[in-house]
Amino acid sequence: MSKQTKLQSTKLSTVPAANASSASESPPTSEVPPPAMDTAALIHEVTQSLSSVIDEKLSKISETLERISSALEGQSRRIAETEQRVLDVEDTVAGLEARLAEAEGKIKAMNDSVDDMENRSRRENIRILNPEEGTEGRRPIRFFESWLPNILSLESTPGIKSCIKIDRAHRSLGPRGSRPRPIIIKLHNSRDKLRIMTAMRAKPNLEYEGKRFSISQDLSMVVRERRRAFNNVCRILIDKGIRFNMHFPATLIVHHDDAEHKFNTQGAAEAFLNTLE
């Protein structure tokens, strides 16, 4: 081989190697990065977007807080007004309570006074219970002026009937029913009432035309109700043979073991009876 041929083959072998080294040093065209973006502009754009979103949300929250604040202010104002009204009412009620207590005391005193006057107006009255309707006839005054001395055996001297003077005699008000209405008699003399009640205690079991009746004092409804509360106690005392009587207005007097016991309420009387058993 000649020198010229060797030089050509050497050139040919060195060219691809140089081309390969140049190819390895320069990257391919497809892997070249895109142009660099403006970082400051991107940050500014993101900041603007976030600011608009935050401002929108904060504005809604602010509006909600304003409405809540306004509502709370209104509630606070109304609560303050309500508290003031309550204080005013309490002050008024405090004054009214004292006035009410005073009025109740006066009303009770007036009721007691009226009841006392009513009972005083009945001091000469007696009440006859259980006679049949029409027993007295059309002239009740004349009938009872003779009937009472006869039925009670009232005599001032042996063989002479006592005379009783009556001012009024009538049935109690109210419609006729299954039970006869009580008869109320107004005596002219208070001494006659004492004689009648004394004779009544001496003859507790009175009968007329085969029917039992009783005579009692004519008292107001209030006093009668208070005395009626002792009915059960009185029955027990009668069964036990214990002597008792009722003092005005409604005080039960029990005589037991040479001692006198006074009771103003049913409970106290029943407690005393329990000690006797």
In terms of domains, do 136 and 201 share one? Answer: yes
For the chain, the domain total comes to 3
In terms of domains, do 78 and 140 share one? Answer: no
Mean pLDDT of 78-106: 91
Whether residue 26 is predicted with pLDDT greater than 80 in this model: the reply is no
Give the per-residue pLDDT at 37.
Answer: 53
Residue 6 lies in a domain: no
In terms of domains, do 210 and 162 share one? Answer: yes
Residue 277 lies in a domain: yes
pLDDT grade, residue 7 (50/70/90)?
A: very low
Q: Look at residue 3 and give its three-state secondary structure.
A: helix
In terms of domains, do 189 and 144 share one? Answer: yes
* φ/ψ of residue 266, rounded to 5: -65, -40
Mean pLDDT of 13-27: 45
Residue 17 lies in a domain: no
Mean pLDDT of 217-238: 92
CA–CA distances in Å: residue 229 to residues 4, 209, 251, 268: 161, 31, 11, 12
Residue 150 lies in a domain: yes
In terms of domains, do 165 and 91 share one? Answer: no
Residue 149, domain CATH:
3.30.70.1820
Residue 51 lies in a domain: no
Give the per-residue pLDDT at 4.
Answer: 46
In terms of domains, do 133 and 200 share one? Answer: yes
Residue 169 lies in a domain: yes
Residue 95 lies in a domain: yes
Give the per-residue pLDDT at 162.
Answer: 63
In terms of domains, do 147 and 224 share one? Answer: no
In terms of domains, do 111 and 156 share one? Answer: no
Give the per-residue pLDDT at 155.
Answer: 67
Whether residue 67 is predicted with pLDDT greater than 60 in this model: the reply is yes
Q: pLDDT tens, 106-152?
A: 999 999 999 999 999 999 999 999 999 999 999 999 999 999 998 98
Q: Is the dihedral of CA 47, 49, 52, 53 positive or negative?
A: negative
| Mean of pLDDT over the chain | 83
In terms of domains, do 198 and 232 share one? Answer: no
Alpha helices in the chain (DSSP H): 3-25, 39-121, 140-152, 190-202, 221-228, 231-240, 266-276
Residue 272, domain CATH:
3.30.250.20
Mean pLDDT of 212-232: 92
Residue 52 lies in a domain: no
Structural domain containing residue 148: 123-218
How far is 183 from 205, CA to CA, in rounded Å?
A: 18
